[in-house]
Each structure stands twice: as C-alpha cells, then as structure tokens.
Structure 1
Amino acid sequence: MGQGAPVWITRARPGAEATAAKVAALGFLPIVDPLLEIAPIAAPIELSGVTALAFTSVNGVRAFSALSEARDLPVFTVGRATAAAAGEAGFGRVADANGDVTDLANLILATRPACVLWAGAREPAGDLVGVLNGAGVAARGVAVYETVARAPSEATLALLAQPLTVLLHSPRAARQLADIASRRPVRALRALCLSPAVAAGLPPLESPSSVACAPRPDETALLALLTA
C-alpha cells in the first residue's frame, strides 16, 4: 500500500481520532467513519467488599469514572492504552497485563485480590468474571457502556469500489463490515484486525482482498501492519 493511500478507521470515537493521528503520522490518509458508537449506561456502582477493579477497555475506564469518584482501589488493565486511561482518570495503582483478557486474568490470579469488580461493555468480547470465579477469585461485573451499530456515510462506502485498507478493533465492527460487504461489491479490501478473535467476525474475502491480524492485541502492532 502506497503512502497517502486511504485507511478506513472503524473504531468508535473518541478512540478513532487518536488512531487517525497515528495513521496520518505514518503517511496515510485516515478516513474516520466509525461502524460503532459508545452509549454510556447509567449503572449503579456498588463497591461494598470490592478490593480491586478490572478494565478491559478505555471505554470501560471512562464510563466507570463518570459514574464513581472512587480512585483509591488498585486497578488491573488489559493493555497499555487502558492503563494510560486509568492513570489519566486519577487511579494511582495500575497494573497492566499488556495483552488480552487471558493475560489480564493471569495477572489478577497472580495476586489473588479478595473481590474484583470488572466494569465494561454490555456485550464483552471475553468472560473475565467467569474465568476469575472459576479459578477461585471472587469477581462480579457491571455493564457501564454498550456499543451500538452506526451506519457509515455513502462517501466512505463508495471507497469499497477501489483498493482500500480498513482497521478493525473489535469483533462487533468486523461483523458490521461483513454485513456491508454482503450487500455491496468490494473490489480489493485489506482488513487489518487487532486479533484473531476480531478476524473471526469476517467472512472469507474474495481475491485480491485479504485479512491480516496483529501479532499481539495492541494498536502499535496493528498499525505496523500498514507498512508490512
């Protein structure tokens, strides 16, 4: 893919803008037109007995922080971006798994806090709470946001008729793209996915389209695929 080529960024705002800046810095043309948007959930936050918090996304940190002023509990996060968001929100003790939900579970199990509260999406990609409970660490979850489908513009959809790279950060976005591809001709789509779980949401793409997955589930690795 040549420098200056368009790259469709499908992740929800506000993260989409941060990704766009990185894509532009690499010399490509970012097209910010999310397939999803974040809707906060006004959930009650019950911290009785909780000794640690867990977050699997930046959106989880932001939504929880808007609902609770508690910042004194230790925090476990799935990756560096989530850890940075927790620090920016005012949490002082943040441990970062720098991986996926399995890595986060292993990090928590290594210290075995008495009770973990996970705050995240209504439809999470993984079952952190179930894994922790199954391993003997008390955990419960609260949904503090949900992702809802968003229709991209006709201008963006028209780009599918030409060679186009698309960044996919979640299985839900991949499924949205698959639905679009089932209804519109796609000429040569290069789908770059944050993880194999994300790629699983896509159907087999007709040649010369292709699907590639980041070697580890973080955005730095994902964006490295642009120049691979």
Structure 2
Amino acid sequence: MGQLILNTRPETDSQELETTLLARGYRLLSAPMLQIAFPPCPDGLDLAGVQALIFTSANGVRAFVHHSHDRNFPVLCVGDSTARMAKQVGFTEIYSANGDIHDLAHLIDVQIDPLNGALFHPAARKVAGDLATLLKDRNFDIRRQTVYDAIPVDDLPDDVINAISAHHIDAVLFFSPRTAESFVKLIKRYKLEHDLLGTRAICLSMAVQDRIGVLTWHKTMLAKRPTQEYLLSALDTAFA
C-alpha cells in the first residue's frame, strides 16, 4: 500500500496532480487551503493597446477566459503547467518560463519589446511577486488587473484531522506561500503541531519552505525547480 499524501492545492489546480499521484501508487487525501473565486468584472478587461498577456498561474488563465473570448494575444506563462492551461483554452502563441517569477521577468525581457505596447496581467488580489518592480529599468508597461481571488479556508476536513492526529499522513504537498500560511494557521487552531513529527513536507520553493518552517516535520524537501514535475520528483526522492 502506497504512502498517504495530503494535497493542499486548490481544487481548480488538483485534477492533473491527483491523477498523477494515483498513477504513481500513492494514496490521497485532499484539504485545499485556498478557495478560488472569480468575482464579476463589470467594466471588462482593460486590453486597449495591449501587445501580450502575462499569466502567473493557471487560475489567471481561467479568470481571463471567464471574462474574454479573445485568444489572439501572445501569452507569456510562468511555467509549463500554466502554459498547458493556456493551450487547452485556445491560445496558440505561448511562451513558457521555468516556473519562477524571476524566470518570467527574464522571458519578458528577452521576448518582448516594451515599445510595442502594454502587457496585461490578469492576477489575484494578492500576488507572490511584483513583475513591474523586477522590470522597472526596462520601461515595460505592465497593466495588472485583479480578476480572481484566493481565499484561505476556515477549517480542515474531518478525515484530514483524524489522519493527522493518528500520524497516518506520510507527506504534505505545498505549492505556494499562501497555501503554506493557511495550513500552518489551521494546524495551530486544531492544536496538531505535535502530530507532524513523522510527516514530510514537500515544498515548491524556498519561500514555501520558509512558511512551513515554524512547524516540526520529520523532513522538509525542496523541489529543484518550482514546477509540479520537480515537486513530484522531490516527493519520490523522499521515499526512495
């Protein structure tokens, strides 16, 4: 029987991940730490003079297509998972970075001439990095518009509480700092801090690892690159 893995990713991002985990022989529990909401956008999207779109998450793609039928823009994606979502919804000119906001800034710098128009960034209310700051010396006009929200959940599912209390969880997957922060908050609320001593934390980035570092784990593992594929490789390595 395979190791029991707790997936903390939002439901919107979990279908491919959970299918892959099951195919690799793991058992699964799910406790999404964030709920994704797509609020109304009564004034539409501000696309006048835009030469390309920036997507820093698959939810950014979902939010854009929720509000617009236009698929003619070139798109620059933070990583391959986001790029696959962009292709799935109908975009054809797609450029992908290596999964990190700094890699995306470099891709924009190499691929885009700032004189040809603005870049539109459909984003969450809270973002992990500021592309405008990273590219401030290159005179890019990055037009960020809030089109979705990632809302921390208030509770852990009963089956997850029971599994943590019984020390049955072998590893927890963390894909974002906000997901990690939400998990830490709930673990403390339910007084489960001492029930993770045999559990591994598998982290997408150092920023994620920093957030879960306030809890005591059996081991923390860091993906070599901030992509789902490398995170799953870190998970496999944890049990090798």
- TM-score normalised by structure 1 residue count: 0.93
Aligned AA (2:101): V
Structure 2 residue aligned with 1:32: 30
1:102-134 CA-to-partner distances (Å, cap 9, x unmatched) read 111111111333311111211011111332344
Structure 1 residue aligned with 2:134: 131
Structure 1 residue aligned with 2:45: 45
Secondary structure, in 3 states, of the residue corresponding to 1:59? helix
Secondary structure, in 3 states, of the residue corresponding to 2:73? coil
Paired residues of 2:12 and 2:59 also in contact (CA < 8 A) = no
Paired residues of 1:12 and 1:38 also in contact (CA < 8 A) = yes
Paired residues of 2:6 and 2:31 also in contact (CA < 8 A) = yes
Secondary structure, in 3 states, of the residue corresponding to 1:197? helix
Paired residues of 1:189 and 1:210 also in contact (CA < 8 A) = yes
Alpha-carbon RMSD across the aligned residues, in angstroms, is 1.5
Q: Is residue 177 of structure 2 the alignment partner of residue 194 of structure 1?
A: no
Counterparts of 1:180 and 1:54, CA distance in 2: 32
Paired residues of 2:124 and 2:147 also in contact (CA < 8 A) = yes
Structure 2 residue aligned with 1:98: 98
Structure 1 residue aligned with 2:162: 158
Counterparts of 2:202 and 2:81, CA distance in 1: 19
Counterparts of 1:177 and 1:189, CA distance in 2: 14
Paired residues of 1:105 and 1:131 also in contact (CA < 8 A) = yes
**% identical aligned pairs:** 32
Counterparts of 2:22 and 2:126, CA distance in 1: 31
Structure 2 residue aligned with 1:109: 109
Deviating beyond 4 angstroms after TM superposition, the runs of 4 or more aligned structure 1 residues are: none
1:38-76 CA-to-partner distances (Å, cap 9, x unmatched) read 011223201111111000000000111110111111110
Structure 2 residue aligned with 1:224: 233
Counterparts of 1:63 and 1:138, CA distance in 2: 21
Q: Is residue 190 of structure 2 the alignment partner of residue 179 of structure 1?
A: no
Unaligned runs of 5+ in 2: none
- TM-score normalised by structure 2 residue count: 0.88
